A and B are shown apart, each in its own frame.
Chain A
Amino acid sequence: MLTTEEFELNMGPQHPSTHGVLRMVLKMDGERVVACDPIVGYLHRSIEKMAENRTFSQVIPVTDRLDYCTSMTSNYVYVLAVEALADITPPARGEYIRVIMTELNRIASHLLWYGTFCLEIGATTPFLYAFADREKILDLFEMASGARLLYNFIRIGGVGRDLSQAFLDRMMEFLDGWEPRVPMYEKLLDENPIFYNRTKGVGYLSQEKAKFYGVSGPNIRASGIPMDVRRDKPFAAYEDLEFDIPVFDEGDVFARYRARMEELRQSARILRQCFEKIPGGPATLPLNYRIKIPEGETYQHIESPRGDIGCYLVSKGGDMPWRCKFRTPSFVHIQIFRDLLPGVLIPDIMAICASFDIVLPETDR
């Protein structure tokens, strides 16, 4: 007689589709998942402990390593918390440069996501297009900050270096050449029946569940909740800029893909406005490098490409943070796999995991 039984399957820590070192202990019934237990911590570098032993300015390069796809937003959220405690307002030009950098980084991060997401479900061509375009943004970052991945660019009281007119012109040149390519990205996938069957209705996340789990960013907007820190609590120059927040109600993998593609267009729209509106004057305040911050605590958050990233900062009046905690979106998004994965097939795991755009260094910190 044929007998069947459930078995345990370890997916990861070294698995190409987990974007880093995530291990998922799956309980399987044949090809179907019965239970999933995500295990993180393989990339724990004690960034929060390291921050307690560095001066406020020295922590900025450490925050680069939180999320290597969007170092600008990780820099920014930490700097915003320090500035809130010290009551520093950067000059208007500095605020605009920050918006330019975070939006460029959003495009770069979404392109990286687009490429790897397609790779996950078996399409190789989009990956090559996306990375060729992302390369141009990295060149722009290199021009501004000297680095391609870990920028250390957004500093307390402003930015590391002012942007030249040559940079802004080159950014516009990039946008003019790149924006017509977005419809091409979509055309590669939208009308493809294989892609459609792999993503439509897969990994459905309801509104209630999204709130219950604390999901944020494009993932919650794909479940029908218009939540965006840029709109809810405008930081930097976002108050003066016009942009839409794309919201989709379907809540499946396809909707999360659509949400990110629409965001690419909105980011380009914001960048064009910044080019028109960027004021002159100084970009940064002349501050002492070893700045002392008054006693207090604060929580600041901004919108990163992955979602709502926050920094909880406690100062005791010295030149080093007393406690520095980062609330990272991927940390929240990985927890939802326990709920979404039971019942799906193994190939759908890749599609669902990739659609949430998780980044493990940010989760483990």
Chain B
Amino acid sequence: MIVEDLSNADCLVVPKEIYRQVAEFLKADAELDFDYLEFQTCADHPPENLNFVAYLRSLGKGHRVGLKIVMDRRHPALPTLADLWANADWNEREVFDLFGVVFHNHPDLRRLMMPEDWIGHPLRKDYLHPNVVKRPD
């Protein structure tokens, strides 16, 4: 694992395959005790990467950590954390809705913000909609 120093929190770059195990460990370990999920989101970096981040905090110990997963933006998929921290449920639904990331074993993976019949994932950088006018450079 590589620790990437951010301006206010350490962000661990985690391979996609062990993301779930790392999250389980961070929650279960008594010394780390990450009992609070702040948020999960994505940032699109075309042409190849889709970066997923999840920020965790320990209310008792007062420390926090960010997990970052670099994914292939053609078929992004991750395991869910909704059973570890309950607010991961809607965070993951939002990421699924706006970025098209599929979460395995998610209890209820529906669109959250956009209508059910919406086509495309609006926060992707290459998303185009006929009503959206591109800002001139």
Contacts and interface: CB of A to CB of B under 8 A. Distances in A.
Interface of B: 6-9, 35-39, 41, 43-44, 53, 55, 59, 62, 66, 85-87, 89-90, 98, 111-115, 122-123, 135
14 contacts: A41-B111, A41-B113, A41-B115, A53-B135, A84-B8, A212-B85, A299-B8, A299-B38, A325-B39, A327-B39, A331-B90, A332-B87, A335-B86, A335-B89
Interface of A: 40-41, 44, 46, 48-49, 53, 84-85, 211-214, 225, 227, 232, 296-301, 308, 310, 312, 314, 322-323, 325, 327, 331-332, 335-336, 339, 364-365
A314 B11 CA distance: 13
B50 to A, nearest CB: 11
Contacts of A44: 113-114
Interface SS majority for chain B: loop
A40 B112 contact: yes
Nearest to A211: B35
Contacts, number: 77
A213 B86 contact: yes
Given A85-B7, A211-B36, A314 B114 contact: no
Contacts of B98: 48
A48 B36 CA distance: 24
Contacts of B36: 211, 214
Contacts of B43: 297, 314, 322-323
Contacts of A84: 7-8
B38 A308 contact: yes
Contacts of B87: 213-214, 332, 335
Given A213-B87, A225-B59, A323-B44, A299 B66 contact: yes
B56 to A, nearest CB: 10
B37 A214 contact: yes
